[in-house]
Structure 1
Amino acid sequence: MFDPAMLQRSADVRGIYPNQINEELAWLSGKYLVRSLRKMLGEDVTPGILVGRDGRTSSPAIYAALIQGISAEGGRPIASGLATTDMIQWGVGEGRCGAHAGVMITASHNPAEYNGIKSVFKNKETGGVDVMRPSDHLAPQFEEDGEDGSASDSVTAPFPAAGKMNLQEDFVEAALSRSNRLGDASGKIVLDPGNGVGGLFRPLLKTALERRGAKVELLAVAEQIDGRFPTRPSNPGLPGAVELLQETVIAEGAAFGAAFDGDADRVFLVDEWGQFVSGSVMLAALAKNMVEKNNNSGAVVYSAVSSWIVPETVRAAGGQAILSRVGQDAAKVALAKTNAVFGGESSAHYNFPDTYCLDSGLFAMVTFWDMLLESGLSCSQLLGQLKPWPNSGEVNLRVECADWKSMSSEVIAAIKSEFSDDSKDSYVLDIDGVSVFNPRVPEYATADDVFTIDQQGDPTGKVYRQVEDYTPDWWFNVRASNNEPLLRLNFESRDASEVAGRTYSLISRIRELCGDRAKITVQDWGNLK
């Protein structure tokens, strides 16, 4: 059954297969993408759309249906088969086989029963690869569609016309070309694709590194692509998810380990001692490197729930910190509008403005590897130069009620109202859910003075803000998930003793606000338990 409400999503189409995401939805999405692209490119243009899929059990069927929908509307599907999300984005940026846009069949880090459709297009004005929001590009085409139930007679096989596109090999080569030191690499590195499509990487990397003369040994755990994700969750950022990788890095004496999510556009690191490296620490390290290489200048975009270590590190290196709404759709707007040198999110998305604002786990891993080789330090020594703030991690609260979205909005509005009172001595920012920063300081009267609006790039201030020279004692953010009935809570403080108590108090307050209208349970405790 086709559910038109799925087309109203702001980032990608994602849900449980086959009830929410299915072949019918995929076929129509392909059709509507072609219609939308024709309006953007001109009616006389035949849109070329690069299409890839991850290793989920439902992905081949959804992939085939979407390709047929593209063809039925007169578009030109470019079938790449198994691919990572960043491969597809990179291929669009490169214009592979004349691609104007790209689609990836994946639910990213969601569990095995989920699937989804991520779409991007090449922005001719900025040179970047931008997100095609379903609400902007698919829903309007559905509204304009007719009521003819006749099946289309147009069918296209989900296979390429020729067998030598080499997207996977060329993408890996593009990632490795970011370093001219990898030929000197030695020792061991452990990859953990988590049974996701990142299982493509190791053999391709091995061949390309051998050509460079590298003496490195690439090892892997959970390498077999299996859409059931039998070894660990597809989200490597969950507490305890990468224990096998941590154990293997220690046992093998590896320099570091790299854990990719289900579609391999995100990566988390493990140092040589098996210590998990948070996305915020990795973001701060990469940002510092990029700012320093840009003559100690340049803007860095970071998401609203990232650790304060990111703006601190960026400012210390001479850069300008830019806070953006969570999500790659917002991040890529901020990157382009501020001419940023780097960007990313605490969820382990890392963006490279010099390559179509691509968010790539493999590009990030190679860049960090190059940093290690340049420094001559170990992973723990290099990252030990950064001092993370004590924090709760991301605590996920499940909201069980008739309308979780309305309830979440009500909770966020109530928290905003409470902390806007002068007695709370806090700045309140509503760029993504609600963020509260304590205390106020005489130099900045309002939140708009701390987080200033770029009147030219984003006059509404709803996508990103420039961060002035201010540091809170503590801050927190509460926001609703886009895809699941969850409220996500992040708390951070300079004082470690405050973290648990203030986080528990926030959870209790959220329960009070919901009363008996919703059941609030803690699904993930973040760093608290």
Structure 2
Amino acid sequence: MFDTTLFQRKADVRGIYPNQINEELAWFTGKYLAATVNETTGSKGSKILVGRDGRLSSPNLYAALCAGINAGGGVALPCGLATTDMIQWGTGKRLHGAIAGAMVTASHNPPEYNGIKMVILNEKTGGLDIIRPCDGIAKNFAADSGDADAPATVGAAFPGSASMKLHEQFTAAACELAPGLSKDSGKIILDPGNGVGGVFIPLLRDALKKVGSKVEVGAVAEPIDGRFPTRPSNPGLPGAVKLLQEAVLAQGAKFGAAFDGDADRVFLVDEWGQFVPGSSLLAALADGEVKAALKRGVKQPVAIFSAVASWLVVETIRAAGGVPAASRVGQDALKVALINTGAVFGGESSAHYNFPASYCLDSGLFALMTFWQQLLDSGKSTSELIGSLNPWPASGEINVRIESNDWKSVSAGLIKMLQERYSKPEENSYVFTLDGVGVFHPRKPEFKTVDDIFTIDKKNDPTGATYRLIAPGYTPDWWFNVRASNNEPLVRLNVEAQSSADVTARTYQLISTVQQFCKEHGAVGVVQDWGNMRG
């Protein structure tokens, strides 16, 4: 048996193999996915693109998923090893008639985890919708009252021919975002971290040769290995990309790029080996995309960012001539915001970057190529381009583990307490509840309420629960956000201010507040990740 509660998750099916997620769960997920897609499209035999990452458990789960799709009335299009954004892009392109996509991956999680991400093409909006397990999958699971006979034939986990060429077409599409590479030279270093991003590195080398580029693409941790022996599959963890940093310095590269386990996220290292925070790359990409949109004649182009990203992103979008908008954290919310506002770009500080060209979902390679062209256009080095944006001092994301039998209640109580405390007049702050609790200091006479700063798009998001447009004219001296994880006993803290001293003092004060609240409610708050606060 498997952990049926995984069907109640909001973003994807994910858990530890084989206790929570196993071949049986993958088979049933495929069956109910096919039913969901058929119901949505109103047709039978919907084609579903299927890929997998390099985890040791992925081949078996992938085969079971394909079999379940075929048994459930769909048609699996098996792609084998692929990045998540390859599957998303192929679905958006309707490659070989695909209307939906499924990817076997646990993204940035440790090797013992695995999961299944699912999307469907929304032909009305042109974007991809995330298929949430808690919706269609859970509904079809609960309604399944068929007999227990095993289907006689469920199909193979291999394509009928070798002509799909998904990997090559995807890489070529990404390279089209950086036409200046045909005249570029020098060296870059890629770090897929032994993840499935290794599949496109040789293809990228070939693509650059075809256009006459003299760029040398080096790599560390290139072989795909589901044990992730070189570094964690999450390159955003402190110290995770040390090998990449050393290689960039030793080989004189222009920059290095590190991908997570399924390569839909990317972090940069500049030519000095300095790690580029996700918010800084987010601001740089937003700057370039807003300016490009203005040149195309787009009036007041919108760029989306997640609610915990740096205020630097707001200032950069404003300076570029765009309209900044904050969304709830998570690809489901950010994608909706991007489509509803007609935004030219969106992203999260966790290194998810969304483009209309990737059907409004995140792509690590598209982000890399977009930045590369921006770098060429600027004539600057990576450190000069990023540094010119004037990053704010920030704590980075700090995770505090709540050790309690009822951690959800403790987390909810903590957030409620912070909301009430900072709503008091003497705190002179705005309280923003789009995601967890955000506190912005100080108040200003021209903005009487928080809704005057974070305004509601009454036409497309009348409740303001998914995203908010940010009015011009307000910049805080400092702000922080505290939000609870949906699936882990963690609260996540982000603090930012215009001075480093203010960040340090307020971050430790906030950590102490969290730990004291936990103590008062029979729990223990243990700092698990210190963000930027400790080397």
TM-score grouping bracket, smaller chain normalisation? over 0.9
Matching of residue 324 in structure 1 with residue 320 in structure 2: no
Match of 1:26 in 2: 26
Match of 1:481 in 2: 485
For residues 55 and 231 of structure 1, the distance between their equivalents in structure 2, rounded to whole angstroms, comes to: 14
Q: Which moved more, 1:10-19 or 1:331-340?
A: 10-19
Matching of residue 405 in structure 1 with residue 441 in structure 2: no
Match of 2:233 in 1: 234
For residues 239 and 7 of structure 1, the distance between their equivalents in structure 2, rounded to whole angstroms, comes to: 32
For residues 490 and 250 of structure 1, the distance between their equivalents in structure 2, rounded to whole angstroms, comes to: 30
Secondary structure in 2 matching 1:30: helix
Q: Map Cα deviations across residues 71-130 of structure 1 (whole Å, 9 max, x no partner).
A: 111110010000000000000000011111001111111111111111001011110112
Match of 2:476 in 1: 472
Alpha-carbon deviation of 1:403? 2.7
For residues 408 and 228 of structure 1, the distance between their equivalents in structure 2, rounded to whole angstroms, comes to: 33
For residues 486 and 151 of structure 1, the distance between their equivalents in structure 2, rounded to whole angstroms, comes to: 41
Letter in structure 1 aligned against 2:81: L
Match of 2:36 in 1: 36
Preserved contact between residue 190 and residue 218 of structure 2 (Cα < 8 Å): yes
For residues 474 and 118 of structure 1, the distance between their equivalents in structure 2, rounded to whole angstroms, comes to: 36
Task: Please give the residue correspondences for 1:383-402 in structure 2 after superposition, counting only pairs within 5 Å.
Answer: 383-402=386-405
Preserved contact between residue 411 and residue 491 of structure 2 (Cα < 8 Å): yes
Secondary structure in 1 matching 2:231: coil
Task: Please give the residue correspondences for 1:37-76 in structure 2 after superposition, counting only pairs within 5 Å.
Answer: 37-42=37-42, 44-76=43-75
Preserved contact between residue 15 and residue 483 of structure 1 (Cα < 8 Å): no
Task: Please give the residue correspondences for 1:446-461 in structure 2 after superposition, counting only pairs within 5 Å.
Answer: 446-461=449-464
For residues 447 and 136 of structure 2, the distance between their equivalents in structure 1, rounded to whole angstroms, comes to: 40
- List gaps (5 residues or longer) in structure 2: none
Match of 1:434 in 2: 437
Alpha-carbon deviation of 1:347? 0.5
- List gaps (5 residues or longer) in structure 1: none
Q: Which moved more, 1:323-332 or 1:371-380?
A: 371-380
Matching of residue 513 in structure 1 with residue 517 in structure 2: yes
For residues 19 and 343 of structure 2, the distance between their equivalents in structure 1, rounded to whole angstroms, comes to: 41
Match of 1:126 in 2: 125
Secondary structure in 2 matching 1:488: strand
Matching of residue 9 in structure 1 with residue 9 in structure 2: yes
Match of 2:343 in 1: 340
Alpha-carbon deviation of 1:145? 1.4
Q: Map Cα deviations across residues 212-234 of structure 1 (whole Å, 9 max, x no partner).
A: 00111110001111111111111
Match of 1:268 in 2: 267
Alpha-carbon deviation of 1:358? 3.2
Match of 1:92 in 2: 91
Alpha-carbon deviation of 1:359? 1.1
Preserved contact between residue 121 and residue 128 of structure 2 (Cα < 8 Å): yes
Q: Which moved more, 1:480-489 or 1:444-453?
A: 480-489
For residues 483 and 254 of structure 1, the distance between their equivalents in structure 2, rounded to whole angstroms, comes to: 39
Q: Map Cα deviations across residues 34-89 of structure 1 (whole Å, 9 max, x no partner).
A: 111122111x3321110100001111111111111111111100100000000000
Preserved contact between residue 14 and residue 483 of structure 1 (Cα < 8 Å): no
Task: Please give the residue correspondences for 1:207-286 in structure 2 after superposition, counting only pairs within 5 Å.
Answer: 207-286=206-285
Q: Map Cα deviations across residues 156-211 of structure 1 (whole Å, 9 max, x no partner).
A: 21111111211111100000011221111111110000010011121100111000
Letter in structure 1 aligned against 2:62: Y
Letter in structure 1 aligned against 2:322: G
Alpha-carbon deviation of 1:152? 3.0
Secondary structure in 1 matching 2:283: helix
Letter in structure 1 aligned against 2:503: V
Q: Which moved more, 1:340-349 or 1:350-359?
A: 350-359
Name the count of aligned residue pairs. Answer: 528
CA separation of 1:447/1:10 partners in 2, compared to 1, >3 Å: closer, same or farther? same
Letter in structure 2 aligned against 1:3: D
CA separation of 1:354/1:204 partners in 2, compared to 1, >3 Å: closer, same or farther? closer
For residues 194 and 480 of structure 2, the distance between their equivalents in structure 1, rounded to whole angstroms, comes to: 34
For residues 411 and 23 of structure 2, the distance between their equivalents in structure 1, rounded to whole angstroms, comes to: 31
Instruction: Indicate the percent of aligned positions where both proteins have the same amino acid.
Output: 61
Task: Please give the residue correspondences for 1:94-243 in structure 2 after superposition, counting only pairs within 5 Å.
Answer: 94-146=93-145, 148-243=147-242
For residues 26 and 413 of structure 1, the distance between their equivalents in structure 2, rounded to whole angstroms, comes to: 38
Q: Please tell me the root mean square deviation across aligned C-alpha atoms, in Å.
A: 1.2
Secondary structure in 2 matching 1:181: helix
Match of 1:496 in 2: 500
Q: Normalising by structure 1, what TM-score?
A: 0.98
Q: Which moved more, 1:87-96 or 1:194-203?
A: 194-203
Q: Normalising by structure 2, what TM-score?
A: 0.97
Secondary structure in 1 matching 2:238: coil
Preserved contact between residue 184 and residue 213 of structure 2 (Cα < 8 Å): yes
For residues 360 and 462 of structure 1, the distance between their equivalents in structure 2, rounded to whole angstroms, comes to: 25
For residues 405 and 104 of structure 1, the distance between their equivalents in structure 2, rounded to whole angstroms, comes to: 29
Preserved contact between residue 38 and residue 46 of structure 1 (Cα < 8 Å): yes
Q: Which moved more, 1:251-260 or 1:287-296?
A: 287-296
Alpha-carbon deviation of 1:147? 6.4
Alpha-carbon deviation of 1:294? 1.4
For residues 147 and 448 of structure 2, the distance between their equivalents in structure 1, rounded to whole angstroms, comes to: 59
Secondary structure in 2 matching 1:398: strand
Secondary structure in 1 matching 2:179: coil
For residues 323 and 421 of structure 2, the distance between their equivalents in structure 1, rounded to whole angstroms, comes to: 31
Preserved contact between residue 88 and residue 358 of structure 2 (Cα < 8 Å): no
Q: Which moved more, 1:394-403 or 1:250-259?
A: 394-403
CA separation of 1:111/1:408 partners in 2, compared to 1, >3 Å: closer, same or farther? same
Preserved contact between residue 454 and residue 466 of structure 1 (Cα < 8 Å): yes
